[in-house]
Chain A
Amino acid sequence: GEEVAQTPKHLVRGEGQKAKLYCAPIKGHSYVFWYQQVLKNEFKFLISFQNENVFDETGMPKERFSAKCLPNSPCSLEIQATKLEDSAVYFCASSQREATAYNSPLHFGNGTRLTVT
């Protein structure tokens, strides 16, 4: 499609429960990125993929967070045993080339709002 599609829009989980978020990148885009927006405006980079391969995972809290981008499936971000501090909006973005390449802007979805109670 022409837009990055993220599902669900909202997700509520009790502490300790699992949360799984999905992202369908724009068709033809090779790179997928996940960002976490916790406070009003602050973004934290989590992980990026080049096709199904992890490209950069330096932002991932590896104990509880995992992500995949498998062929012919939406990408996913999974949080095992959610904590209160995981409450945030999670944005997925895609780009044609590596995000920092010139003239290859990130195209963002509208996010999944995760609330951990």
Chain B
Amino acid sequence: LAKTTQPISMDSYEGQEVNITCSHNNIATNDYITWYQQFPSQGPRFIIQGYKTKVTNEVASLFIPADRKSSTLSLPRVSLSDTAVYYCLVGPSRSYSGAGSYQLTFGKGTKLSVIP
């Protein structure tokens, strides 16, 4: 399974742009990168997904360099409500047995704290 590494935590002031980088050195050719956001006492929520270069939606941007060994989630002008844990996922990845279907594997995530 492609492993991801993210900073454990980040702090930012309101109104600033926040960039969270995820390393995935052993990403496979058919893997793509997905980011989820989780608030306390809630399930994760899909933010953005991409394969290469840049993807932008109404919430965030995702930058993926040519070698695809890392990716950066960019949150423009964060507010207090963006305080959450952000997970970077890489997939599809076969289960460790090598058989059966694919599954998404969550890493430990980055806890973003937005300060007034």
**Which A residues fall within an 8 A CB radius of B?**
4, 33, 35, 41-43, 45, 48, 55-59, 91, 93, 98-103, 105-111
Q: A55-B101, A105-B34 are in contact. Are A100 and B92 (CB under 8 A)?
A: yes
Which residue of chain B is the closest to A103 with respect to CB atoms? B49
Say which residue of B49, B91, B95 sits within 8 Å of A56 (CB atoms). B95
Number of A-B contacts (CB under 8 A): 75
Q: How far is the CA of A101 from the CA of B92 in the complex (A)?
A: 7
Q: Which residues of chain B have C-beta atoms less than 8 A from A93's C-beta?
A: 43
- B103 CB–A CB distance under 8 Å: yes
Q: Please provide the chain B residues from 14 to 62 with a CB less than 8 Å away from any CB of chain A in the complex.
A: 32, 34, 36, 38, 41-46, 49, 51
**Interface of A (DSSP majority class):** loop
Q: With A55-B101, A101-B92 given, can you name 9 additional A-B contacts, CB distance below 8 Å?
A: A41-B111, A45-B104, A48-B101, A56-B101, A91-B43, A91-B44, A93-B43, A102-B49, A105-B34
**Which B residues fall within an 8 A CB radius of A?**
32, 34, 36, 38, 41-46, 49, 51, 85, 87, 91-93, 95-97, 99-106, 108-109, 111
Q: How far is the CA of A58 from the CA of B43 in the complex (A)?
A: 22
Say which residue of B41, B95, B106 sits within 8 Å of A58 (CB atoms). B95
A58 touches B93 (CB 8 A): no
